[in-house]
A and B are shown apart, each in its own frame.
Chain A
Amino acid sequence: MMNGFWENIFKKTGDNENNVLNLLREIPVLDDLSKEELKEFERIAHHRYFEANEHIFWEGEPGVGMYVIKKGAVKIYKASADGKKDVLAILKDGDFFGELALLDESPRSASAIAMEVCHILGFLRPEFFSILERKPRLGFKVAMKLAKIIGKRLRVTSTELQSITTRLHKPENLTEMILNGIEQSGTSGTKEIQK
């Protein structure tokens, strides 16, 4: 099951050219910026190359910045208490993740791991803030965009939470949910409960 928080609900459709500027223009946080303004962000982009099964960051680590996938695939997952990995999203070329870490150092809410050889662009908070200090007008634009994204994601998460709460309040739905959960986890006790 994909999670509304992690899905790129803002992602635009369109061609992904192998050009960093065009790639940056695809990111909702930066899509209002002019070419010159985008160049500022291109200058601070860190090109990182990850091998398959290499972690980009781990859940609980302090967030230092956001990443954009130039090429490759990244799995976002949460580790459950029993050591299982709950996959939240599979992200591909042009997708971005971790943008909330541009604002503060709060811990990562999930882990990110490369599923294949990846070329990823990293935008880290200290350099991002230095741009905002140097170019206040540009900073205002980007900060407003981030605020919109956070607001939108909060609404999506609230809707998901509301639907779960509604289903929980109906006993037949609760049983159904428990059964679905057991089936998905592949436990041998499924049939016994159904009886």
Chain B
Amino acid sequence: MKSSQRTITIHINRRFFSQLIKWFLVFLALGFAITFFIVMKHLSVAFIVSILLAFLLEPIVLAIENHDINRTWSVVIVFVSIAAITAFGVIFLLPGISAEFQSISAYLQLKPPSVLTAELEATIDSKFPLMKRHGLSHEIAVYLQHGLDDLIKESIDILFEFVHIVSMIFIVPVSTFFLLKDGRRIKKTFIQCVPNRYFEMTLSLVHKISQQVGSYIRGQLLDALIVGILSSITLHVLHVPYAFHIGILAGCANIIPHFGPIFGAVPAIFVAFMDTGSPGQVIAVTLCFVGIQLFDYLFISHVVVFKSIHIHPLIVVVVVLVGGYLMGVIGMFVSLLLFSILKVTVTEFMWSFRHYHIFGRPQRFLSENRSD
């Protein structure tokens, strides 16, 4: 019997080999980026803030560009304007705001959460004896104390992060400047790395994501600004102390869908109650907040925010709750934005899978042929 010897010739396809190297480099870059984001957490935060600011300022830069001014000068004009507004704020508004801020911090330092809740319990007992009889006032006070303790812990964490952001106060403007100036070139360079087969699809996807993210961020901030201004004016008219700060807080909290308005209203109601102890004042503040929220819900947020992301309100609630569970307050702020990016990406991929020759013949053609 002859032992049959087979010679196996391996033909290395040059194109396959170069594709393999390309994908290896892509995964290597992706791994490096993820590692960089984990290790350099604070630098990542600064970078994300820069991206958000770039999205926010893009329409203003475009508006200036429309007057036949080149991109670099348009960005410079925007930055000089922001610097001028900031300087004006520091010179004319800061003294008043800092005095109010000192007053708040002094008040909080003098009265820790336990004292504050004890005072609240006593006020509720004197105003609503019926609640004392059923122990409701004590339960409210205990619940509020837990809430305050958690809020202070969260605030300290956020302040700790904030200190890092302040320490990078020069990084954010510089990176925002270059993102605005060279954003298109960066996008183009990224798309240049994409293989020909996915080129059109990727460009379309990047465009749709940036459109959605941009409109969502701008919508949310416009919404927050309107709610903040309305809240401040209303509280000022009702003679509630720290109206300006509570207004800012209500505006910021409004970024959290559905839950934000509650977070914004609670401090206002609490301060109004502690200041006068009058149920009438509390009811007036509550009604004003309900009115502002109704106005916001019917005329602002649905037009400028939710219209751009097309997500069912029930899903919004679940997404915000999951975000809060995973990442606390920050999670509640960014969860819907991240979810909307994910939604656009998945939707576009599914659409591309049906319409482009990504994995051979598109599904659409196959289904059409079947129906034939």
The reply on A195 being an interface residue by CB < 8 A is no
As a 0/1 sequence over residues 187 to 223 of chain B, the CB contacts with chain A under 8 angstroms (1 = contact) are 0100110001101100110010000000000000000
Nearest 6 A/B pairs, CB to CB: A126-B207, A64-B200, A58-B357, A134-B65, A124-B203, A62-B355
Query: A46, B188: Cβ atoms under 8 Å?
Result: yes
Contact in complex: B365, A126 (CB < 8 Å):
no
Asked whether any CB of chain B lies closer than 8 Å to the CB of A56, the reply is yes
Select one of A57, A60, A126, A133 contacting B204, CB under 8 A: A126
Task: Write out the residue numbers on chain B whose beta carbons fall within 8 Å of the beta carbon of A47.
Answer: 192
- A54 and B196 contact, CB distance less than 8 A: yes
Q: A64 with B196: in contact, given A43-B184, A133-B62 (CB under 8 Å)?
A: no
B362 at the interface (CB under 8 A from A): yes
Residue of A nearest to B357 (CB): A58
Q: Decide if A46 touches B66 in the complex (CB within 8 Å).
A: no
Please report the total number of B residues contacting A with Cβ < 8 Å.
Answer: 22
Pairwise interchain contact B184-A134, C-beta atoms closer than 8 A: no
Interface residues of A in 133-176 (CB under 8 A from B): 133-136
CB distance from A147 to the nearest CB of B (A): 23
B113 CB to nearest A CB, Å: 52
A62–B351 alpha-carbon span in the complex (Å): 10
User: Is A65 in contact with B200, judged by CB distance below 8 angstroms?
Assistant: yes
Number of A-B residue pairs, CB cutoff 8 Å, is 53
> B242 interface residue, CB < 8 Å from A?
no
* Distance, CA A138 to CA B184, complexed state (A): 19
Q: Does B353 belong to the interface (CB within 8 Å)?
A: no
Verify if B370 is at the interface (C-beta below 8 Å from A): no
State A133–B207 Cα separation when bound (angstroms).
Answer: 15
Selected contact of A60 from candidates B15, B62, B65, B362, CB within 8 Å: B362
B153 at the interface (CB under 8 A from A): no
A154 to B60, CA, bound (A): 41
- Asked if B365 and A60 make an inter-chain contact with CB atoms under 8 angstroms apart, the answer reads yes
Q: Which residues of B contact A48 (CB under 8 A)?
A: 196, 199
B75 to chain A, nearest CB (A): 14
Q: Residue B62 contacts which of A46, A54, A134 (CB distance < 8 angstroms)?
A: A134
B68 CB contacts on chain A under 8 angstroms: 135
A55 proximal to B (CB < 8 A): yes
The reply to whether A46 and B199 contact each other, CB–CB distance below 8 Å, is yes
Once the chains bind, are B200 and A136 in contact (CB under 8 Å)?
A: no
Q: Tell me if A55 and B357 are in contact (CB < 8 A).
A: yes
8 A Cβ contacts from A37-80 to B: 43-44, 46-51, 54-58, 60-62, 64-65
16 A-B pairs (CB sep. < 8 Å): A46-B191, A47-B192, A48-B196, A48-B199, A51-B15, A60-B362, A61-B356, A61-B362, A62-B200, A62-B204, A65-B200, A122-B199, A133-B62, A134-B62, A134-B66, A135-B68
CA distance A73 to B200 in the complex (A): 20
* Interfacial residues of chain A within 90-149, with CB under 8 A of chain B in the complex: 122, 124, 126-127, 133-136
Residue of B nearest to A133 (CB): B62
Which residues of chain B are within 8 angstroms of A127 by Cβ–Cβ distance?
184
**Distance between A12 CB and nearest chain B CB, rounded to angstroms:** 28
A64 x B62 contact (CB < 8 A): no
Q: Which residues of B contact A55 (CB under 8 A)?
A: 197, 357
